[in-house]
Amino acid sequence: MRRTLVSLALLAGLALPALANTEKGGVVNINTATVQELQLLPRVGPSLAQRIVEFREKNGPFKRVEELMRVKGIGEKSFDLLKPYLTTNGPTTLKQKVASARKPAQGQKATGGN
């Protein structure tokens, strides 16, 4: 009995960080998201979010997240950055703006020092 309790406690301890990462990550449903919800995505501002909504209204719902690359301003590199946060079904669960990591310019150090 004691061994079972210890095992359950260990499993619970391992599961909590995984649940926190899921909650922290979140996704945006590109078929139902508002302009404001789309702006939570990295490198998506008001203009691009509006273009996504207009594209969806004109062409119907996205069948696959890859179709987002048909929206002007979203190329392969941008899509690769957005993909972990996209879905075409279910609720939008992303609640905070995702900061986009910028690569340092060629020849500069990531630390920003001189």
* pLDDT tens digits along 58-68: 999 999 999 99
Give 88's contacts (C-beta < 8 A, 6+ positions apart).
Answer: 29, 30, 31, 61, 62, 63, 64, 65
CATH number of 79's domain: 1.10.150.320
Question: Within a domain: residue 114?
Answer: no
pLDDT score for 17: 38
pLDDT score for 24: 54
Question: Within a domain: residue 106?
Answer: no
pLDDT digits (tens, 9 = 90+) for 66-106: 999 999 999 999 999 999 999 999 999 999 999 876 655 56
pLDDT at 50 over 90: yes
Question: Within a domain: residue 112?
Answer: no
pLDDT score for 34: 98
Rg, Å, the chain Cα set: 19
Structural domain count of the chain? 1
Question: Within a domain: residue 81?
Answer: yes
Domain holding 31, by residue range, is 24-101
pLDDT at 19 over 70: no
pTM (predicted TM-score)? 0.69
pLDDT score for 25: 73
Question: Within a domain: residue 87?
Answer: yes
